[in-house]
Amino acid sequence: MKTSRLIVALAGAALLLTGCATVKGLGRDIESVGKAGEDAINK
């Protein structure tokens, strides 16, 4: 179970880091991940 969570976390981090080219882009990416998490918790 821990291994699969680690793989998912690493894959997400890789996508996050490759998806943004600037600090501003990184901020938007982090914000969207936070919003998605919040939406999942509220459902």
Q: What is the pLDDT of residues 1-43, one digit of tens each?
A: 678 888 888 888 877 777 656 666 777 878 888 888 888 888 7
Closest CA to 37 of 14, 4, 12: 12
Domain count across the chain: 1
pLDDT of residue 4: 80
Question: Are residues 31 and 25 in contact, defined by beta-carbon separation less than 8 angstroms?
Answer: no
| Rounded Cα gap, residues 36 and 23, in angstroms | 20
pTM: 0.43
* Domain residue limits at 8: 2-42
pLDDT of residue 21: 61
